[in-house]
Structure 1
């Protein structure tokens, strides 16, 4: 998992809310909300809420 938003550089750590496409392009929630139809600007893929990881993993 990438640890920062590809657009604004915001930290998207293991427990942060972030969105990813099938290629794992990573976006913070604020940037993802600004993309038309919530599509990845890199590949056009559908952005989905990234699963969080527990601190134990």
Structure 2
């Protein structure tokens, strides 16, 4: 784990055994969900303006 890692989703310190990196940001696993439908992002995620989306909701942004 990286020392003093802060989650992009909740802005809290990540103390979990694992953290997830999405582009330049670090996330708790529990914070990784679609901003639109709130479904957990397990296999893939899409990022626009520092906001995470599932594939379906990302495609609807166009």
Q: TM-score, normalised by structure 1?
A: 0.48
| Structure 1 or 2: more strand by fraction | 2
Larger RCO (CA under 8 A, 6+ residues apart): 1
Q: Which has the larger radius of gyration?
A: 2
